[in-house]
Homo-oligomer: A and B are copies of this chain.
Amino acid sequence: MSKPLISALAQFAAATAGRNMTKAAYVAVTVGVLSMVLLSDKRAQEAHGWFNALLWTCLAYFVFEWLVRLRHMTQQGRLSLYMSSSAGLVDAIGALAVPVALLFGAEPKTAWLLSVLWVLKVVPGIPGLRQLRRVLVLESGPLVSVLVIFLMVVFLASVAEYFLERDVQPQTFGSVPAALWWAVVTLTTTGYGDVVPVTPLGRIVAAAVMISGLGVFGLWTGILATGFAAETRRDNFLKTWESVSKVPFFAALGPAAIADVTHMLRTMELPARTMIIRKGAQGDCMYFIAAGEVEVELPGKKVQLGEGAFFGEMALLGNNKRGANVSTTKVSRLLVLDLVDFRVLMARHPDLAETIDAEAKRRALENR
């Protein structure tokens, strides 16, 4: 191999080792899985050579990626940690499943089906997965209850239906497993129509099962909606907390005081292009940006502040004159800490008062 190629590979390897999902990996997963899908289709038979080549390329990439990561983790002494992690497991499966199946004598077409496991590599890159998982964990009690009720209805309904229909339709309702299949298809309101009750009593039981299906659906959704709302509230609280603890003179406080501040904040939804602070006006509060963006008109330039930033904190330090115009650039959600509330806070937390005094003196010296 020529030198530039090797160095390019090394760079590529370095980029691959560090992150969980590179763009190349996303492309490889998409191309690989689509090739596998089309390889099984007779209508695209003349292109099978191409799909095979693509599949081998993707496999090569995943093996390469896995080896690079193994080497990287060995160098960092985290090999065993990596191999037992879910990311490591998925990488190993992606690299080994197809070759191992081929080695053990599986038919190539069947072996390549295992390349569908490459989609698992996408899992760590899903943005809201942690949130979803927390909801499922939090609400696991009621969810399991609903699942158990679901299974009970399935078993009771299928035995009843088998009893009522077996003589009329021995072909489709000839055994309890067949009736179970019908019950699951019906209770989930899928309704293929391959197994359908025809006796009047059988249909009445089936109608009850369908209506129960709506109920199961509703409970399930209601539980998940409730869990999701709670999780969103919790997320917002943690985000506010993080914003608050970034303010220099709050950082030194304990969590109880920060929670106090977080609870004193008032939410304020503002339309776009609304003036929040007018230069020279009396300041009596500071602001945190929960969502949206504001623009500060400093002398000679305009500065944008985004989510998580704060401004106007000088008002809490005794400096009442606002120093610049500030206005929103889009619909924004601000959190406001009033001077009045802040003084209550200082009375409660004497260490905060000291920090503030020190900070105010430091700033006064700075601005002299």
Contact = CB atoms under 8 A, between A and B. Distances in A.
**Is chain A's interface secondary structure helix, strand, loop, or mixed overall?**
helix
Interface in A313-345: 333, 336, 338, 340
Given A221-B221, A348-B284, A162 B274 contact: no
B282 A351 contact: yes
Taking each of A176, A213, A218, which has the highest tally of chain B beta carbons within 10 Å of its own beta carbon? A218
Contacts of A218: 217, 220-221, 223-225
Given A163-B110, A188-B213, A348-B338, A116 B155 contact: yes
B192 A196 contact: yes
Interface string A80-97: 000000000000000000
Contacts of A128: 141-142, 144-145
Given A42-B175, A152-B119, A254-B281, A220 B214 contact: yes
B256 A269 contact: no
Given A224-B219, A226-B228, A181 B163 contact: no
Interface in A126-178: 126-129, 131-132, 135, 141-142, 144-152, 155-156, 159, 162-163, 174-177
Interface residues of A, number: 115
Given A224-B218, A255-B268, A142 B148 contact: no
B226 A210 contact: no
- Quickly give the copy total for this chain: 4
Contacts of A255: 268, 270, 274-276
A207 B184 contact: yes
Interface of A: 33, 36-43, 110, 113, 116-117, 119-120, 122-123, 126-129, 131-132, 135, 141-142, 144-152, 155-156, 159, 162-163, 174-177, 180-181, 184-186, 188-194, 196, 200, 203, 206-207, 210-211, 213-230, 232, 234, 237-238, 241, 254-256, 259-260, 263, 266-271, 274-278, 281-282, 284-285, 333, 336, 338, 340, 348-351
- Shortest beta-carbon contacts, A-B, top 8: A190-B191, A222-B225, A222-B224, A192-B193, A193-B193, A128-B142, A128-B145, A188-B210
19 contacts: A37-B180, A40-B162, A40-B177, A42-B174, A122-B152, A142-B228, A186-B190, A190-B190, A192-B192, A194-B196, A214-B216, A218-B220, A222-B224, A222-B226, A225-B229, A254-B278, A255-B268, A256-B285, A259-B266
